A and B are shown apart, each in its own frame.
Chain A
Amino acid sequence: MMIDHFDGKWLVVCVDNRGNEESLERWKIYQSLPDEEAEKHQEIRVIDEEGEDYLYPADCFSPVFLIDAVAKSLVTQYSTHRNATMSN
């Protein structure tokens, strides 16, 4: 089964990083957090290369579907890595 979200986090791929090269890599998969207010402004809340969530233009990203085991692994391992990095 293919899924595009897990544990409240949506998976998106960066399709345009122009102007945000410092924090986003093109074609890399990122996690997005729900933000209804941002959606009203055509924006999306993404956990970027800093490991923190910021608002970016929604058209810089596209939803991505992954095999469920891969999606779960990506979200779980990224969260573990992020927590370990932040506690250092």
Chain B
Amino acid sequence: MQIREIVGAIQNIEVIAKGSSVKIRKKLQKLHGRGNWRKMKGIAEVRLSDNSVRLCEILWFEAHGIGKKHIKVKHYL
């Protein structure tokens, strides 16, 4: 499995899209269920593919009652 492992807490959390602005909303609903999906952004230490840990800008999707799903790395910081 290629799920991103977050090490520690996520900081500077902000909502960057919600409702119809979440482009993959239908896929999220199909995989995880219906909900008020929001796309979120934050900063956290992430374990990378070579097992190293770096501070990264990350994005993920979450919905009330479903939780955080599909954490993606945008940039290393």
Interface set of A (CB-CB < 8 Å, partner B)? 16, 18-23, 37-38, 40-43, 48-51, 54-60
Contact = CB atoms under 8 A, between A and B. Distances in A.
Nearest to A43: B49
The 3 closest A-B CB pairs, nearest first, are A19-B2, A19-B3, A57-B49
B2 A18 contact: yes
Interface string B7-30: 000000000000000011001100
Interface of B: 1-4, 23-24, 27-28, 31, 48-50, 52, 54, 59, 61, 69-70, 72-76
Given A19-B4, A21-B27, A41-B50, 8 more contacts: A16-B2, A19-B1, A20-B72, A22-B28, A22-B61, A43-B48, A50-B23, A57-B49
A22 B27 contact: yes
Contacts of B24: 22-23, 49-50
